[in-house]
Structure 1
């Protein structure tokens, strides 16, 4: 009979915080995960792995490697990687992976970097991934500035630190000659942020891609957070269009702003009722635009809407309310016109992140929890929107974990990262990976 240890899961206090950890704080600290149990056998497994001479050699090497890991972090941070423009960072990261000793390295059709390390049997494939893109547009100053021991730059933590952590783990495995039973593919993925819509990981799971048995995403900092539930989202750009004209001379034609205003009102009124009960579900009319002049009836009016839930049913439900509100507004605006053509509307899905969950009893989640305990941290289970959403939605055992150290200001120009026991993050990634991939002997 297995013995269990209770794990109290309480969201961490943060200063700034990365997107992954903010989800742990704001969305992950719910009653569903506060009394999850950790099976003692996984603690035993992790303790045994940590005592292997090769693993201890890798741990020691992580410390010796810290000056180079810092240089790698600065180098990669200063290569701009805006959404959909990750190619230069991809090329450099691929070269670094090749130099680190991967058996084969390639860049796929969407500019993901894949570095394969062959396992003894290769019957299983484990992915270890961090994302290449940042939220910052082209032209952003990404020069790293150091104040004391703290590094400041847009993207330095989210997720460039993750990239360097994954790279360092590969280097450590090579130096210590750690062999696994499963194949391991280290990935630098594109398209995690914003309208990138997880396109990099979606491509990994397309037909013809590698068979993936376990997925470890590295995003955020610290050694306690474990995202095992995918926060799904639907994002739309909705555009009402009419002929436009002079505010006086063309009066009586359809007005796209009128329709947009009605759509927002009808949607938010019904969505407010719908989201008051059940699994947390959110909605936001986030950006609006249109119009040319105070004395002109606009020819178009548009909005971008974000909806999120870890429940597919609730997400689809609030989505249906948006669609109904748009059509009602269109019909009513056309009904009051006095002349001219009808108003039209286009509803474009610009973001579709699937939701789902991996149960805390699944070995990968248990192993991630056990590693946090081994490193003297209390594991924090959470829901979040990360690259792990895709494998989670497909039922592939998946977690997102941090890369060590501490940081804050994610998605801001003042983003920072501090190497506060950062090597513990590398130890964590290695132990979770080795437990999933299995030692070769």
Structure 2
């Protein structure tokens, strides 16, 4: 796997889209993109993308109405795989974790794949009504924007390349990935970059956001589930018995203070959050179990490691103090890591990022570099050139039951942009 360590810059502050928008685009990349966009084949592909707009919308509806809850993306993967086959790929396979991978071959002898992906999974649990409702030109359904629109864009790109008879120098992988959301913990990308053995040259992810948004950095996170257990008993009859809820409260109090002191210091932006709490059987019972889930994030990997250490020490300190507080019996605890996304940042001078900015500018949008927690966290942390671009259009209500999407682009420019970046990176073959 191609490692480009010199391109990986660990950050020392939060980079907002507005501040990064001023990054300079080198003239040679502007000219390269303009030449590419003016070729007969690419112009034809752009026209095909416009012509198949209704077809792309129908693909979006079809995919949205196939449920893809966390860890249950198989059925949507099958539908996406069939769409790739019908659109025309040289080969297709589903790997052992569920990623659907279509290969479009380039020139013989060229090394390194250019990957372009959107994620198959949505945040909504099994049983959620994912029927698409039309209100005028607006489509409403859970997951329709994040990230099913990205999947439909991939199909449109592939159809356009084949209709325009475009040939590339490098092989292109067109991928529907699993496990991007929540506790999926980027398992699809971790498999591709850590276990698949594929020689990935560069990666382009499509996920959320408007035209012009470009992520070149990953916001790292670590997530834990803490479970505290005790004997349990009656709130009156067993009063004084070690109570897991009370112990959990002490953990939260100690961690909140120590973590707040740390994050309030002069360090790159770092955060912590107790997101979910549960346990207990009734108001008049001493619970036998209490649990919470904690999310910690940081721009700099060093700070992420340090806030993680603070959390672990806070748990140990709180449990010891609680068990020594005079309660009868004691509580025990188990700490399980449920999420680990690495941080990292790529230099704006890398060719892929320059090409992405130049292509964005070509379509009249202002390129804005920034940071997010997306599929590119994995390749970025390894120094592999990667960007995450927006799906375009207008949308709202992401991760909610009232999510909506409106394609207000007359020429489907977001798809044309994704294609232009991909072809610039893969190289056009005559």
Specify which of 110, 119, 125 is matched with residue 106 of structure 2: 119
After superposition, the CA RMSD in angstroms is 1.3
- Identify the range of structure 1 (227-236 vs 294-303) with the bigger mean alpha-carbon deviation: 294-303
Q: 2:281 aligns with which of 289, 292, 301?
A: 292
Shift of 1:208: 3.8
In structure 2, runs of 5+ residues without a counterpart are: 1-13
1:185 aligns with 2:173: yes
Cα distance between partner residues in 1 of 2:96 and 2:15:
34
Q: Residue 73 of structure 2 corresponds to which residue in structure 1?
A: 86
- Cα distance in 2 between the residues matched to 1:128 and 1:256: 47
| CA shift for structure 1 position 279 | 1.2
- 1:264-413 map, 5 Å: 264-276=252-264, 277-340=266-329, 342-413=330-401
Q: Does 1:96 align with 2:87?
A: no
Classify the secondary structure of the residue corresponding to 2:428.
Answer: coil
Q: Quote the Cα distance in structure 2 between the aligned partners of 1:95 and 1:259.
A: 52
User: Post-superposition shift, 1:426?
Assistant: 1.0
Which aligned segments of 4 or more residues in structure 1 are displaced greater than 6 angstroms? none
Tell whether 2:422 aligns with 1:433.
Answer: yes
- Residues 1:338 and 1:403: Cα distance change in structure 2 (over 3 Å): closer
The reply on whether 1:109 has 2:96 as its aligned counterpart is yes
| Kept in 1: contact 2:17–2:368 (CA 8 A) | no
Q: Deviations over 1:403-424 (max 9, x none)?
A: 2212111101111111111610
- Residue 128 of structure 2 corresponds to residue 140 of structure 1: yes
Aligned partners of 2:293 and 2:195: how far apart in 1? 31
Question: How far does residue 32 in structure 1 lie from its aligned partner after superposition?
Answer: 6.0
Aligned-partner Cα distance in 2 for 1:248–1:235:
36
Deviates further, 165-174 or 28-37: 28-37
CA displacement at 1:222 relative to structure 2? 2.3
User: How far is 1:141 from its partner?
Assistant: 0.8
Contact 1:283–1:307 (Cα < 8 Å) also in 2: yes
Q: Distance in 1 between matches of 2:327 and 2:365?
A: 68
Counterpart of 1:213 in 2: which secondary structure?
A: strand
Q: 1:69 to 1:133 in 2, by over 3 A?
A: same
1:86-109 CA-to-partner distances (Å, cap 9, x unmatched) read 100001100110111100011111
Report Cα offsets for 1:107-128 as digits up to 9, x if no partner: 1111110000011133121000
1:18-76 CA distances to partner (integer Å, 9 max, x unpaired)?
A: xxxxxxxxx75268625321111110110000000000000000011111101100000
CA distance in 2, matches of 1:172, 1:338: 70
Secondary structure at 1:396 match in 2: coil
2:64 maps to 77
Which residue of the partner structure matches residue 18 of structure 1?
A: none
Q: Is the 8 A contact 1:157 1:221 kept in 2?
A: no
User: CA offsets, 1:384-441, max 9 Å, x none?
Assistant: 0000101111111000001221211110111111111161011111111011111123
Is 2:229 aligned against 1:241? yes
What secondary structure is seen at the aligned counterpart in 2 of 1:43?
Answer: helix
Q: For residue 309 of structure 1, report the CA deviation from its aligned partner.
A: 1.2
The structural deviation recorded for 1:338 is: 4.3
Equivalent residue, structure 2, for 1:55: 42
TM-score (norm 1): 0.92
- Confirm or deny: 8 A CA contact 2:92 2:102 kept in the other structure: yes
The residue number in structure 2 matching 1:260 is 248
Deviation at 1:245, TM superposition (A): 1.0
Q: Determine if contact 1:253/1:337 at 8 Å carries over to the other structure.
A: no
- 1:149 aligned onto 2:137: yes
Distance in 1 of aligned mates of 2:214 and 2:21: 13
Instruction: Report the 3-state secondary structure (helix = DSSP H, G, I; strand = E; otherwise coil) of the residue aligned with 2:168.
Output: coil
Question: Which aligned pairs between 1:211-250 and structure 2 lie closer than 5 A?
Answer: 211-250=199-238
SS of residue paired to 1:105? strand
- 2:152 corresponds to which of 139, 144, 164: 164
* CA distance in 2: counterparts of 1:159 and 1:260, whole angstroms: 36
Map 1:413-428 onto structure 2 (within 5 A). 413-421=401-409, 423-428=412-417
* Mapped contact 1:255–1:333 kept (Cα < 8 A): no
- C-alpha displacement at 1:301, in angstroms? 1.2
Q: Which has the higher mean CA deviation after the structures are superposed, 127-136 or 417-426? A: 417-426
